[in-house]
Amino acid sequence: MRPFHLAFPVRNLEEAKAWYCDTLGCKVGRESDDWIDFDFFGHQVVAHLSSTIINDNSNDGTKEAIQKISNKFKKLASLLI
C-alpha cells in the first residue's frame, strides 16, 4: 500500500492523542498547540484542533457515523500491524 496522509478536525487534542496512541498503538510524530501528527503504521494522520467540529451529542446520525469511522480505523490498523 502506498503511504497516505490524512488530516482531520478534532475538538480535543489530548483525547485524540489518547485514542490514537493507547487504542490504536500509533506513535506521535510532531505536535503543536493546534495539531498533532501520528505515525499510523507508516502512514501520516494529522489531528487539527477545530472549534467548528460537529456536535457528537446530536441525534442526527453523527454518533453512528463516528463509530463506523472508528471501527474502520481499527480494522485498517489491524491490517497494517
43-65 average pLDDT score: 71
Pick the CATH number of 5-80 from 3.40.50.2020, 2.30.30.100, 3.40.50.720, 3.10.180.10: 3.10.180.10
Residue 32: predicted pLDDT:
95
* Pairwise CA distance, residues 26 & 60, whole Å: 30
Question: Do residues 26 and 76 make contact, with C-beta atoms less than 8 angstroms apart?
Answer: no
The structural domains of the chain, with segments of one domain joined by +, span 5-80
Q: What is the pTM of this model?
A: 0.64
| DSSP 8-state class, residue 43 | E
Residue 72: predicted pLDDT:
77
pLDDT (tens digit, 9 = 90+) per residue, 33-50? 999 999 988 889 999 998
* Pairwise CA distance, residues 21 & 38, whole Å: 8
Q: What angle do CA 3, 31, 11 make, to 5 degrees?
A: 95
